[in-house]
Amino acid sequence: MKDNIRSIVIIGGGIGGLSAGIYAQRQGFESTILEKNTAPGGQCTGWDRNGYHIDGCIHWLTGTKDGGPLNALWREVGALDGVEIVHPESFLCFEQDGLRACIYRDLERLERSWIELSPEDADVVREFCADVKLLQGFSFPVDKPTDLMGPVERLRTMLSMKDAGKILKKYGKMTLQEFAGRFRCPALREGFGSMAPEWYNAAMIFFAIAAFTANEASIPAGGSRALSMRMADTYRRLGGRIETSSEARTLEIAGRRVRSVVCSDGRRFPAEYVIAACDAAFVYRTLLDNRYPDPAFEKRFADPIAYPLASEVLVAVGFAGRTTELAEPMPWSMSFPVEPFTIHGRPIRRLTVKQFSHEPGFAPHGKTLLICDINQYQHDYDAWSRLSREEYWLQKRRLGDAVTRALEARFPEMRERLEILDVATPKTYERYCNAYRGAFMAFFPTVKGKMMAHTGRIKGLDNMVLSGQWLQPPGGLPAALLTGRDAIMRLCRKTGRAFV
């Protein structure tokens, strides 16, 4: 018998929750989003400081190519309505020993420039570019989740993944460090080698660069917060209700059904169906009080080597000038060596900085927003957690100073013209989004780990599912969008509605 569900409570107003909400409204359900913060968006956000707007998320958004299947979905949820797409000339430039190697959008230019920089790497570079090219036409299947597909659709999907399969077979057991070690050029070797943790799977870098060089991964003008707000507007226009400052704390469960969601301020939201579009560990361990553990997640949480989580320190800096004043062009994003400084004893030898000159509205007139990201892993999070309140603020200030010094050393024109705007840490993401260990994406893919595709079903409960980026590691914005939509497709199947 089909379930007669009409109303849905969605926990979490990030991209996953907004996506679930928009598709729920489109299919005729009545939905309410409970969001713990004062505004929706979750990790896809930005905030204002000293006249600057700090963009806290999008380095690149997959699905920006007009006419692509993912692009159609971003448009369907209003994320890209009337928005200019910024296509940076390069994705990231690596500097080392006076050399600069850029991952150019134009793959032929990339190949030419790398061979020019390091002729002894010509064969490796050509092979790299040929493999990237193979993936340029690949797009992740977005029609429906595999569990809703019939045998013919599954076969078609498998066939469409042929080229991806080739790359996964060739590089899936190679670490990024091993891949980086193929290059003699120090900029490429050091640059690629420092991008991810020790066991990170090299194949993933091919997917990212293929998407970028195929114009499929660029930056929507206005940034992360504006994108989330457009989705929130779409949701409200469709009749959806967002309850902000509403943190779900407990669930009232009777038998196999959740009856209501109770917020930290005591308000109760009766629920016919619940979609938890928030952090997986928070859902299983806190909301469900460890009563419905999921083996696939528990296995991953217990093995941080095979399934590492990454968070970051984000240092936002205001530059009282324009990048055109610098002696050499400053690319959108660059990674360069620095005089080592430490975070909790771990030496930081390289820094990645993004500059937002394409967003004049993010800075006061004549100034530029700069953002430095420093990856943080298992031990870093533990060390941040051990600090007292005073030590925590001191450490943030110390890091802001270290980053400023590193920027001034690399760009002497910036001396005396930098202002630390904010320093976010793994604890910030934990506090803001309930993100497990401050993780900004789901488990990083490594050569030791296995892929996970989770339906979101919570064993033991008939009317609650998990959604959001954790269902499709390594996560990211497209995963959040798709899993929100998938949750509603499954609900339509369950309730006998056609998904239109």
Ligand X SMILES: Cc1cc2nc3c(=O)[nH]c(=O)nc-3n(C[C@H](O)[C@H](O)[C@H](O)COP(=O)(O)OP(=O)(O)OC[C@H]3O[C@@H](n4cnc5c(N)ncnc54)[C@H](O)[C@@H]3O)c2cc1C
Which residues here bind ligand X, judged by CB under 6 A?
11-17, 34-37, 42-44, 56-61, 247-248, 277-279, 282, 312, 314, 429, 433-435, 440-441, 468-469, 475-477, 480
Helix 162-171, helix 122-136: angle, nearest 10: 150
Nearest to ligand X of 44, 129 (CB atom): 44
- Distance, CA of 228 to CA of 226 (rounded, Å): 5
Residue 348: strand pairing partners: 341
Nearest to ligand X of 14, 68 (CB atom): 14
- Residue 468 CB, nearest approach to ligand X (Å): 3
Contact 252, 268 (CB under 8 A): yes
Nearest to ligand X of 121, 191 (CB atom): 191
- Residue 247 CB, nearest approach to ligand X (Å): 4
Nearest to ligand X of 341, 440 (CB atom): 440
Q: In what order do the strands lie in the sheet with 7-11?
A: 241-243, 30-34, 7-11, 273-276, 464-466
Q: What is the DSSP string of 355-385?
A: E-TT-GGGSSTT-EEEEEEEEE-HHHHHHHH
- CA 296, 297, 302: angle at the middle one, nearest 5? 105
Contact 153, 145 (CB under 8 A): no
- Distance, CA of 302 to CA of 284 (rounded, Å): 14
- Residue 283 CB, nearest approach to ligand X (Å): 8
- Residue 130 CB, nearest approach to ligand X (Å): 26
Q: Helix (H, G, I), strand (E, B), or coil: what is residue 89? A: coil
Structure-token match 């031990």, residue found: 379
Structure-token match 């991953």, residue found: 300
- Residue 450 CB, nearest approach to ligand X (Å): 20
Nearest to ligand X of 16, 337 (CB atom): 16
- Residue 81 CB, nearest approach to ligand X (Å): 19
Nearest to ligand X of 189, 350 (CB atom): 350
Q: Which run of H or of E encompasses 10?
A: strand 7-11
Of 104, 91, 235, 219, nearest to 477 (Cα)?
219
Contact 46, 229 (CB under 8 A): no
- Residue 438 CB, nearest approach to ligand X (Å): 9
- Residue 277 CB, nearest approach to ligand X (Å): 5
Q: Is 310 exposed, middle or buried (0-12, 13-18, 19+ CB in 10 A)?
A: buried
- Residue 316 CB, nearest approach to ligand X (Å): 11
